[in-house]
């Protein structure tokens, strides 16, 4: 008989990933579905749609459901022993939101095991394109929220962050103001993480404290929704969000759908899902004083803190491991996609060539320095490509190798400046196949 195992899911920007570990924490299975490549019918780029205003960024919610169907079928074909899964949990890209249409709970509870999920759930979403973390179209809603609660610093003191355009409360406020009828026909709003948990639970999963802190709606000290923030965003919102729970809550057994269709044990437990960054803090077993850097679609820097002071820059989130503690987070929007663009321009689209070019230049890049923001950055708020030579003169281009090093050093310098403000020790998480040279630059 196969040994017991545990599944972890990651619904992130560009792909859905799954990993199974045994009781000795050994990885026994890994797989992924890449949205652009494996689900071309949705026509996403990097898993998203960038709308014509260049500010609105969404992902089709049914693509996430279909990705789950696809990965489960792949696991089944490979002979994966679903019956051995004792529990599962997971993570989602932060801030993104899913809008369940009135009556969907009944459909979710009663999905037929004869059909893939995406067929049963196709009419369940009042918003078919979910706003995601790359969206920056809610500037007016952010100003209104800060004004309603007495200013940016006051909002940060309540929710851990001043108003950010990608934060879910502001996204909900935009949907309510532009399409009140869509908002009214929504019975539940999930984060990507709680949406994913809902698919497994066959019921609406609660939002967890950690991912809930990325909404500009949760009082991070009391761990309850802030009435003034809710009221500033949309009417009747509390009911649509449900009660938030600790990130490690056991939500209940898996939906019968998975036992009937894939052979999961009916006793398999669903543990609350959380945001991908909080999940990384938990998974890396970060301790107070450590800083981790994640190089995903976004780059993030995060750390465990006991006594946070919310400020106008960065975010304080509830800690996913210890409900008395917190985590600080900085997010950089120009992460992997920016590196990919320079790789394509300067290294023929090859990470190997990128790596060789990086190794061929020296630390400090002979004084050449660059800041690369293809899209409006979050930290700091800046856009464009800015190159400076060793005499501090602005230049319009660099030789290819110099460009590659300027990009990597510029990105890491920005993180280091913030790291110096926040702590001292740097760990690393991220794409496991990331070019070692990039890691070397980070640690140099
Ligand atoms: N060898 C490599 N070196 C640097 N970056 C890489 C390498 N291989 C893949 N990547 C980048 O990693 C990104 C995906 O990282 P991942 O953490 O899986 O993203 P996400 O979880 O946000 O979907 C891609 O944009 C890709 O360009
Ligand atoms: O917006 C943030 C954090 O505040 C992002 O870090 C998202 O959570 C997206 O994660 P990745 O898909 O890049 O891992």
Residues 315-325: tens digit of each pLDDT:
999 999 998 99
Test site for ligand 1: of 64, 192, 431, 441, most ligand atoms within 8 A of the Cβ = 431
| End-to-end CA gap in the chain | 48
How many A from CA of 12 to the centre of ligand 2? Answer: 8
Within 263-350, residue ranges assigned H as helices are 276-283, 336-346
CA distances from 300 to 107, 166, 229, 320, 430 (A): 37, 15, 26, 16, 10
The pLDDT > 90 percentage for the chain reads 87
What does the pLDDT read at residue 360?
Answer: 97
User: If you average pLDDT over residues 422-437, what whole number do you get?
Assistant: 54
How many A from CA of 277 to the centre of ligand 2? Answer: 7
Test site for ligand 2: of 277, 318, 330, most ligand atoms within 8 A of the Cβ = 277
* Dihedral Cα 119, 121, 122, 124, nearest 10 deg: 170
User: If you average pLDDT over residues 337-358, what whole number do you get?
Assistant: 97
How many A from CA of 46 to the centre of ligand 1? Answer: 10
Residue 280 beta carbon below 6 angstroms from any ligand 2 atom:
no
Gap between the Cα atoms of 266 and 86, Å rounded: 10
Which atom belonging to ligand 1 lies closest to the Cα atom of 276? Answer: 21
Residue 15 beta carbon below 6 angstroms from any ligand 1 atom:
yes
Gap between the Cα atoms of 243 and 224, Å rounded: 8
| Contact yes or no for 209/221 (Cβ under 8 A) | no
CATH superfamily of 290-444: ATPase, nucleotide binding domain (3.30.420.40)
Residue 213 beta carbon below 6 angstroms from any ligand 2 atom:
no
Q: Which residues pair with 299 in a beta bridge?
A: 295, 332
User: If you average pLDDT over residues 113-133, what whole number do you get?
Assistant: 98
Q: How confident is the model at residue 380 (pLDDT cuts 50, 70, 90)?
A: confident
Gap between the Cα atoms of 127 and 271, Å rounded: 26
Rounded to two decimals, the ipTM of the complex is 0.97
Q: How confident is the model at residue 222 (pLDDT cuts 50, 70, 90)?
A: very high
pLDDT at 354 over 60: yes
Q: How confident is the model at residue 424 (pLDDT cuts 50, 70, 90)?
A: very low
What's the sign of the alpha-carbon dihedral 148, 153, 158, 164? positive
Residue 431 beta carbon below 6 angstroms from any ligand 1 atom:
yes
Q: How confident is the model at residue 290 (pLDDT cuts 50, 70, 90)?
A: confident
Which residues in 247-279 are b (16+ Cβ under 10 Å) and which e? bbbebebbbebbbebbebbeebbbbbbbbbbbb
Gap between the Cα atoms of 139 and 254, Å rounded: 40
Gap between the Cα atoms of 387 and 392, Å rounded: 9
The pLDDT > 70 percentage for the chain reads 94
Q: For the chain, what is the mean pLDDT?
A: 94
- Closest Cα to atom 2 of ligand 2: 94
What does the pLDDT read at residue 443?
Answer: 59
User: If you average pLDDT over residues 27-56, what whole number do you get?
Assistant: 97
How many A from CA of 432 to the centre of ligand 1? Answer: 8
CB-based contacts of 39: which residues, under 8 Å, 6+ apart? Answer: 33, 63, 66, 67, 70
Closest CA to 215 of 189, 197, 235: 189
Q: How confident is the model at residue 225 (pLDDT cuts 50, 70, 90)?
A: very high
What does the pLDDT read at residue 439?
Answer: 64
What does the pLDDT read at residue 437?
Answer: 66
What does the pLDDT read at residue 428?
Answer: 46
Residue 94 beta carbon below 6 angstroms from any ligand 1 atom:
no
Residue 297 beta carbon below 6 angstroms from any ligand 2 atom:
yes
How many A from CA of 335 to the centre of ligand 1? Answer: 9
What does the pLDDT read at residue 395?
Answer: 98
Test site for ligand 1: of 10, 13, 14, most ligand atoms within 8 A of the Cβ = 14
How many A from CA of 191 to the centre of ligand 2? Answer: 13
Which atom belonging to ligand 2 lies closest to the Cα atom of 166? Answer: 1
Q: How confident is the model at residue 426 (pLDDT cuts 50, 70, 90)?
A: low
Cα 427 versus chain centre, distance: 19
Which-ligand-closest: CA of 352?
A: 1
What does the pLDDT read at residue 436?
Answer: 64
Q: Tell me where in the chain the CATH 3.30.420.40 domain(s) lie.
A: 5-278, 290-444
How many A from CA of 94 to the centre of ligand 2? Answer: 5
Q: Decide which of 3.30.420.40, 3.40.50.300, 2.60.120.10, 3.40.50.2300 is the CATH code for 5-278.
A: 3.30.420.40
What does the pLDDT read at residue 420?
Answer: 76
**Measured at the alpha carbon of residue 183, what is the angle toward residues 177 and 187, in degrees to the nearest 5?**
155
pLDDT at 184 over 50: yes
pLDDT at 83 over 90: yes
How many A from CA of 56 to the centre of ligand 1? Answer: 23
């Amino acid at each position: 008989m196969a040994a017991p195992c545990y599944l972890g899911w990651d619904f992130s920007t560009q792909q859905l990933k799954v990993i199974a570990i045994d009781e000795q924490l050994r990885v026994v299975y890994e797989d992924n579905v890449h949205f652009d490549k494996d689900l071309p019918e949705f026509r996403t780029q990097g898993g998203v749609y960038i709308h014509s205003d260049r500010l609105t960024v969404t992902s089709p919610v049914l693509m996430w459901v279909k990705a789950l169907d696809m990965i489960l079928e792949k696991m089944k074909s490979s002979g994966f022993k679903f019956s051995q899964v004792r529990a599962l949990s997971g993570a989602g890209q932060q801030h993104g939101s899913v809008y369940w249409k009135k009556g969907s709970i009944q459909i979710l509870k009663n999905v037929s095991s004869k059909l893939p999920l995406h067929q049963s759930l196709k009419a369940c979403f009042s918003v078919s394109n979910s706003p995601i973390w790359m969206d920056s179209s809610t500037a007016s809603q952010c100003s209104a929220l800060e004004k309603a609660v007495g200013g940016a610093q006051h909002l940060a003191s309540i929710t851990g962050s001043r108003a950010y355009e990608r934060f879910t409360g502001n996204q909900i406020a935009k949907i309510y103001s532009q399409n009140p009828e869509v908002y009214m026909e929504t019975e539940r709003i999930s984060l990507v993480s709680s949406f994913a948990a809902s698919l497994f639970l066959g019921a609406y999963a609660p939002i967890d404290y950690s991912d809930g802190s990325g909404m500009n709606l949760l009082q991070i000290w009391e761990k309850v929704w802030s009435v003034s923030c809710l009221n500033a965003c949309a009417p009747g919102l509390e009911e649509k969000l449900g009660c938030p729970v600790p990130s490690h809550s056991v939500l209940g057994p898996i939906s019968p759908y998975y036992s009937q269709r894939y052979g999961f044990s009916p006793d398999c437990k669903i543990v609350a899902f959380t945001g991908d960054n909080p999940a990384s803090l938990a998974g890396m077993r970060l301790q107070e004083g450590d800083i981790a850097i994640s190089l995903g679609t976004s780059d993030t820097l995060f750390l465990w803190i006991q006594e946070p002071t919310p400020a106008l820059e960065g975010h304080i989130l509830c800690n996913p491991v210890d409900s008395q503690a917190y985590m600080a987070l900085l997010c950089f929007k120009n992460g992997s996609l920016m590196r990919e663009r320079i790789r394509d321009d300067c290294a023929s689209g090859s990470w190997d060539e990128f790596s060789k070019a990086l190794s061929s230049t020296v630390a400090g890049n002979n004084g050449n320095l660059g800041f690369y923001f293809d899209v409006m950055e979050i930290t700091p708020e800046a856009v464009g490509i800015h190159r400076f030579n060793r005499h501090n003169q602005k230049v319009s281009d660099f030789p290819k190798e110099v460009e590659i090093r300027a990009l990597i050093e510029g990105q890491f310098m920005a993180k280091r400046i913030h790291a110096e403000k926040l702590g001292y020790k740097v760990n690393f998480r991220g794409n496991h196949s990331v070019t070692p040279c990039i890691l070397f630059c980070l640690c140099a």
